[in-house]
Amino acid sequence: MTSNRIVVLGTGGTIAGRGAPGADMGYVAGQIGVGELLAGIPELAGVPVATEQVAQIDSKDMAFGVWQALAARCAHWLAQADVAGIVITHGTDTLEETAWFLQRVLAPARPVVITCAMRPATALVPDGPQNLVDAFAVARHPGAQGVTAVCAGVVHGAAEVRKLHPYRLDAFGSGDAGPLAYVEAGRLRRLRAWPQGSAEAALLDRLARTREWPWVEIVTNQAGAGARTVDALVAAGVRGLVAAGTGNGSLNSEMEQALLRAMDRGVRVVRSTRCLDGEVIGQPGDRLPAHPLTPVKARVDLLLELLG
Ligand code: SIN
């Protein structure tokens, strides 16, 4: 059987946003159905497509239940022999968390491409349609695999992608690693390997059965940080803490002591950095383990670990 069908899963975001005609601010995200978004794009007309509206939200409100549904629908469609890949329309604000979550849970051997827009569908010149066309190019590319994000002609890997800008159309970066590829006039110029990995088989099942997610928070080191936030969270029952440290994951001394006390009480703690590039270089004897990814992605890892 030929695998040429592309499944498009809608979750909302600015790409599905509606506002005053022509305006690029002051709109409401998550208004237009995914079928309607595709219908306006002649370049995609000949592609066999299935669409599903998994959610219709502003991604600032991304919730664990939507992640569960999205992972389940991706798994369902990836199991169909005629599906070449999946495109997910998503808000830009939490796209990087969803990307890493799906890569961890699915580690798909076929492409799952998340795309978005910085301007609503009703803007004078919306960027969503071109981003969708580019996302399709990645999803249909022979040999493409893993979870990627496509925005403004740039393809980012799930582990590296992060939102860098609140307004610019090219709003994402991949830090030191750089992008995976560029989409140029419908063709891919590859720079790096596709995201790899192996999904833990039981994780998807466990996810489907999860009703209550573990409570994991990010605490940021900053001038005058102290111990109070960590102590309050531990007293309130937090199960995991990501410390977004300064520089190489360094922490205010009182905060560090509070985190060590939290660990002694069974709270899972990892140390990331609030720096925009690079990763924490762990040292032998570190009591608070270093995590190589950004704080929000380290949090995804802790959530999944604690779900286990
Ligand atoms: C959202 O994240 O849903 C709103 C912002 C955006 O998509 O750019």
Pair type for strands 49-57 and 5-12: parallel
What is the rounded CA–CA span in Å between residue 94 and residue 14?
12
Asked if 122 and 21 touch (Cβ cutoff 8 Å), the reply is yes
Structure tokens at 63: 């919730």
pLDDT of res. 200? 79
Listed residue (129, 142, 143, 173) closest to 40, CA to CA: 129
Q: Give, for ligand 1, the residue of 28, 34, 58 to mutate: max count of ligand atoms closer than 8 Å to Cβ.
A: 58
C-alpha count within 13 angstroms, C-beta hemisphere, residue 277: 7
Measured between alpha carbons, how far is 205 from 134 in angstroms, rounded to an integer?
A: 32
Domains, the chain: 5-190 (3.40.50.1170), 215-307 (3.40.50.40)
> Does the predicted model carry a pTM greater than 0.85?
yes
Is there a contact between 32 and 12 (Cβ–Cβ < 8 Å)? Answer: no
Report residue 58: phi and psi, to 5°: -80, 130
- Residue owning tokens 């199991």: 79
Kindly state the tokens that stand for 38: 């595709």
Residues lining ligand 1, Cβ inside 6 A: 12-14, 29, 58-60, 91-93, 116, 118
Q: What pLDDT is recorded for position 11?
A: 98
| Residue from 120, 43, 47 nearest 89 by CA | 120
| Cα–Cα dist 84/1, whole Å | 11
Please tell me the number of Cα atoms within 13 Å of 47 on its side-chain side: 27
- Of the residues 2, 11, 14, 122, only one is catalytic, namely 14
Residue 308, pLDDT score: 82
pLDDT tens string, the chain, 308 residues long: the values are: 788 999 999 999 999 999 999 999 999 999 999 999 999 899 999 999 999 999 999 999 999 999 999 999 999 999 999 999 999 999 999 999 999 999 999 999 999 999 999 999 999 999 999 999 999 999 999 999 999 999 999 999 999 999 999 999 999 999 999 999 999 999 999 999 999 988 877 899 999 999 999 999 999 999 999 999 999 999 999 999 999 999 999 999 999 999 999 999 999 999 999 999 999 999 999 999 999 999 999 999 999 999 98
pLDDT at 3 (0 to 100): 85
Q: In the prediction, which pLDDT does 40 show?
A: 85
CA distance 31 to 23: 15
**Is the sign of the CA dihedral 283, 284, 285, 287 positive or negative?**
positive
178 CA distance to ligand 1 middle (Å): 23
Query: Which pLDDT does position 1 carry in this prediction?
Result: 75
